[in-house]
A and B are shown apart, each in its own frame.
Chain A
Amino acid sequence: MDYSYLSLETARMDDKEFAVFRDYLCKSSGILVPPDKAYLFEMRLVKVMADAGCENFGELYRYIVSGKDPQITQKIINAMVINETLWFRDSLPWRVLEEDLLPRYIAELRSSARNKVRFWFSAVSTGQEAYSTVMCVDNYLKRKLVRDIQLSDFEFVATDISSRVLDVAKRGRYDAISIRRGLDDAYREKYFTQDKSAWELDPRIRDAVRFSRFNLQHSFLPLGSFDVIFCRYALIYFGDELKREISGKLRRALNRDGVLFVGNSAMSDYFRDGYEHVHYKNLTYFKASN
């Protein structure tokens, strides 16, 4: 492909174009890019623009609305949304899981008061949050010598708006740098196999998670309802109205006594109606109130 038509001048985004692209990204993904981050569009979308054969951002926008490329929105989202994550990030949710939730779930599974425990990781990025949870559950069952309840009694649904990060997540294979971020040696030794400098996750853990692309602006109904939802580090990118809307949809997606980890106490105001606030050490999480 010949890109010689590109020039430094035309690859510049003016204020009006920034406003158009900011609105477009917000409508398509919910993500609000603050004005001081305007350069992110320029830096990240030049390649998308060039691949679309456009000379400038105005032309790229016209190309988008023309509907010529059904994948263009996803390409833009992939270019703009790349969140870094780590293992057992802010460890307290997994303490709550081990100390409070898992003993209760196991008792309910045993008494047939429930037949499944469903988890949803709503912005899972490269997979660490979901895999941390599967390892945590598996490790708990083994440590407590629970033999009548299996990992298959738990269902783990993991979603993200970026198809690119999900490609990495599904592989369950992590580089020597990512593997060190938050994962203690005992978990690594137990659940990973080293191959050169990379670490491969136990396929039993990897295959327990079902990954799919999902936009939090859409209806949550097709996903079903959940006992535990992790919605951490995504809401901060959204505007007030969308935060409130998502709060309501999350509440409706929670089962009776379902638990929601949002990860940022500054978000508490958005989770008043239908939620009970629970404090554990310096973590505040939310429980569906009946």
Chain B
Amino acid sequence: MKLLVVDDSQVLRKVVRAVADALEMETEEARDGIEALEKLGEIYGETDLVLLDWNMPEMSGYDVLVEIKKNEKYKDIPVMMVTTQGQRSNIVAAIRAGAANYLTKPFTVTELETKILECLQEDGDYL
């Protein structure tokens, strides 16, 4: 099981890696949307979930989500968006664009872990 975490914050990537380790998942990291799409081009066949921050420089998480969902090769990989609390518009936009789930900041480790499990279970790969 592999998770690609896309976030410009090193701290957040570290938190996600720690939780993924607990879930016995491998983690790949990308610091921005462009790197995420490049990386996905290499590892899409082995990626089970993308965790994507909304607010990133250069290319927003939303734009990355749209790109992922447009691409035949990786449009079926579940994407969980991470957005700021109170940004209801982001949540609606993310679901419309095909996000499998979303997480609002600030979140607890338990929320992160349960949401990842939820995404993977819905996708049918992980029980």
Residues of B within 8 A of A278 (CB): none
Please choose the segment from B32-40, B41-49, B58-66, B110-118 that sits at the chain A interface, where 4 or more of its residues have CB less than 8 A away. B110-118
Whether B86 lies near A3 (C-beta < 8 A) is: no
Shortest Cβ distance from A183 into chain B, in angstroms? 14
Measured as residues with beta carbon below 8 angstroms from the partner, the interface class of chain B is 20 to 34
Which residues of chain B from 73 to 127 have any CB-CB distance to chain A below 8 Å in the complex?
A: 85-86, 88-89, 91-93, 95-96, 98, 101-102, 104, 108-111, 113-114, 117-118
Residues of B within 8 A of A84 (CB): 108-110
Whether B91 lies near A43 (C-beta < 8 A) is: yes
Whether B17 lies near A177 (C-beta < 8 A) is: no
A167: interface (CB < 8 Å): yes
Whether A83 lies near B110 (C-beta < 8 A) is: yes
C-alpha gap A126/B110 in the complex (Å):
8
Given the contacts A125-B110, A168-B117, A175-B113, A42 and B88 also touching, CB distance less than 8 Å = yes
Whether A50 lies near B88 (C-beta < 8 A) is: no
How many A-B contacts are there with CB distance less than 8 Å?
91
Shortest Cβ distance from B61 into chain A, in angstroms? 17
Shortest Cβ distance from B1 into chain A, in angstroms? 13
C-alpha gap A174/B108 in the complex (Å):
14
Please choose the segment from A4-12, A134-142, A249-257 that sits at the chain B interface, where 4 or more of its residues have CB less than 8 A away. A4-12
Question: Which of B15, B19, B88, B109 is within 8 Å of A11, CB to CB?
Answer: B88
Whether B22 lies near A82 (C-beta < 8 A) is: no
C-alpha gap A4/B85 in the complex (Å):
22
Shortest Cβ distance from B85 into A: residue: A43
B72: interface (CB < 8 Å): no
C-alpha gap A259/B118 in the complex (Å):
36
Whether A176 lies near B85 (C-beta < 8 A) is: no
C-alpha gap A213/B88 in the complex (Å):
31
Question: Which of B96, B101, B104, B113 is within 8 Å of A43, CB to CB?
Answer: B104
Whether B89 lies near A165 (C-beta < 8 A) is: no
Which B positions have Cβ atoms within 8 angstroms of A? 15, 17-19, 21-24, 85-86, 88-89, 91-93, 95-96, 98, 101-102, 104, 108-111, 113-114, 117-118
